[in-house]
Structure formats: C-alpha cells, structure tokens
C-alpha cells in the first residue's frame, strides 16, 4: 500500500530557541467555556448560568440539606403550635397575653430553612458565596428586580381572577394580626417578611434543592417548574397555592438566568415588597 499524504497543518511560529513539534489543528480552535456543562436544550441567553454551574461544582448534598431543613422547619412549627395550644387553655379570655413577641416567634422555624443549607455549604461545600452565589452583582439586581416585578404583577392578576371566581380568601393569621396590635413587633414582622424570608427560603429552594437537581442533570426548565411547585406547596396555604406557583416561576427565572441565588433573593424580596409595605403602614 502507498503512503498516505500527510495532512496540511497550520503554521505556528516557534519561540526562539525552543524548537519542537507544532500543535495540531484541533488545538488552534478556541475552546467553548464550560464545555462539560453544555446543555443542548438550553437557550443561549442562559450562558451565564451555565458558566456558574460549571464553576460551582457538585451540590449533591443539596437533597440532604433540603429535606433536613424543611423537616426541621415542619417539626418546629408543630412544636410551636402545641405550645401555643397548651398555653391558650390557661389564659383568661378577658385578659389576653401580650402577643407582640409571638409575631417574631412565628418566623423562628423559617430560619431553619436557610440555616441548614448554610451549614451544609460550610461543611460539605465551598461556602455560601461559591455554592450559591449569595453576594449580589449588578446583574443580579437588574434581573432580580425585573423578575420580582413580573412575580408581583402575575400574582396580583391571578389573585383578582381567583377572587372573581371563588370569592375573597379565608381569613389568615396575618390578617388577624393586622387587626390587632400596632407595635414595633409588627414592624419587625414586616421587616423579616421583606428581607428574612427571601433569604432563608431561597437558600433552601433555589439554592440547595435547585443545585441538587442540577447536579443530576435534570433539565433546567423542569427544575424551574418543580421548584416553583414545591415552593407553593410548602407554604400550606391552599387558596394561595396557584398564586404562589406563578410567583415561584418568576422568582426561579431569576435563578435560571443568572445561575446565582442572589438574583432570586432580590426577586423574592421585590415580590414581598407590597405586603411588607402594607404591614409597615399598619405598624405605623
């Protein structure tokens, strides 16, 4: 058999005094960033999140953080309800107790939602900044505000539709609180609803759970829908479940676009702004 002609290779200048074989043609092409994390179904506009996922690495421990965090939250809620029921039976109805501190105590279990993912990140991961992108960038602010406004408007529109179809929502604990004390406790309750809840809930949902699903290469749009559904269900408010689901989709979109939890936190806080503002007004 005759010898095969050698393929032509592009010319590369050699550094002076360092002769050696020239690199082959494939290495002359620019490499695509985050090649291993390329998702063929991902729209090009989400390249930023793709790079973040490749840089972040594995969050396989996210499932454990999610289930322990939510399990601890649910257990704490049950304990608080049992304590409140037991104490209520010993009070004189004509002299109700001072309930101001109970407003903040009601949010105590919520802290576990964010604390457990944070502990797992420090223990098994690389820290909150690396694992979740918790420090906001300018782009997180821009995307988060836009998605938060969409969540707010979408939730409001759907609420109006549900009210028109099924009537006003049932009285909630929050509505009863707003008809009661106007103190600094209600102000602090509103402040936590605006800043604290977005931090803790996003670390759990769009941080630990999203990262775990992403680790097992679940399609990003499926992660968006699944986390929004779980976000709606864990609030355990049947009437508001569709509203929370729509809001969760918009909030999750901020996480999907940027790849950072900081953006979804800003979106979540924006979505909570009007309810918190109403509480601020009542407290004042």
Determine the pLDDT at residue 5. 53
Residues 6+ apart with CB under 8 A from 208: 59, 62, 63, 65, 66, 69, 116, 117, 120
Answer with the residue of higher pLDDT: 218 or 5: 218
Determine the pLDDT at residue 176. 57
What digits encode the pLDDT tens for the residues 136-150? 999 999 999 999 999
Q: Is the pLDDT of residue 128 over 80?
A: yes
Q: What distance in Å separates the CA atoms of residue 236 and residue 239, rounded to the nearest whole number?
A: 9
Q: What mean pLDDT comes out for the span 80-84?
A: 76
Reported as a pLDDT band with limits 50, 70 and 90, residue 231 is: very high
Answer with the residue of higher pLDDT: 110 or 104: 110
Q: What distance in Å separates the CA atoms of residue 154 and residue 243, rounded to the nearest whole number?
A: 8
Task: Measure Cα distances from 224 to 80, 147, 231 in Å.
Answer: 32, 13, 11
Determine the pLDDT at residue 12. 46
Residues 6+ apart with CB under 8 A from 69: 112, 113, 114, 115, 116, 117, 204, 208
Determine the pLDDT at residue 284. 57
């Amino acid at each position: 058999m005759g010898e095969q002609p050698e393929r032509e290779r592009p010319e590369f200048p050699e550094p002076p005094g360092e002769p050696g074989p020239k690199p082959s043609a494939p290495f002359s092409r620019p490499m695509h960033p985050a090649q291993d994390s390329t998702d063929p179904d991902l729209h090009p506009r989400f390249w930023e999140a793709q790079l973040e996922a490749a840089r972040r690495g594995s969050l396989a421990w996210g499932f454990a953080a999610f289930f322990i965090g939510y399990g601890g939250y649910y257990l704490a809620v049950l304990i608080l309800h049992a304590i409140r029921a037991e104490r209520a039976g010993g009070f004189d109805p004509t002299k109700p107790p001072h309930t101001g501190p109970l407003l903040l105590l009601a949010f105590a279990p919520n802290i576990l939602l964010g604390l457990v993912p944070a502990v797992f990140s420090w223990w098994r991961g690389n820290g909150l900044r690396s694992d979740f992108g918790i420090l906001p960038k300018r782009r997180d602010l821009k995307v988060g505000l836009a998605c938060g406004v969409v969540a707010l408007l979408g939730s409001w529109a759907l609420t109006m539709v549900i009210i028109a179809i099924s009537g006003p929502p049932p009285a909630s604990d929050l509505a009863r609180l707003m008809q009661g004390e106007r103190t600094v406790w209600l102000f602090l309750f509103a402040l936590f609803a605006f800043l604290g809840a977005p931090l803790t809930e996003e670390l759990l949902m769009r941080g630990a759970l999203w990262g775990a699903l992403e680790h097992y290469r679940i399609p990003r749009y499926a992660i968006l829908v699944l986390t929004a559904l779980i976000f709606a269900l864990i609030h355990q408010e049947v009437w508001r479940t569709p509203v929370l689901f729509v809001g969760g989709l918009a909030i999750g979109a901020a996480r999907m676009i940027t790849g950072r939890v900081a953006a979804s936190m800003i979106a979540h806080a924006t979505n909570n702004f009007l309810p918190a503002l109403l509480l601020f007004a009542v407290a004042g």
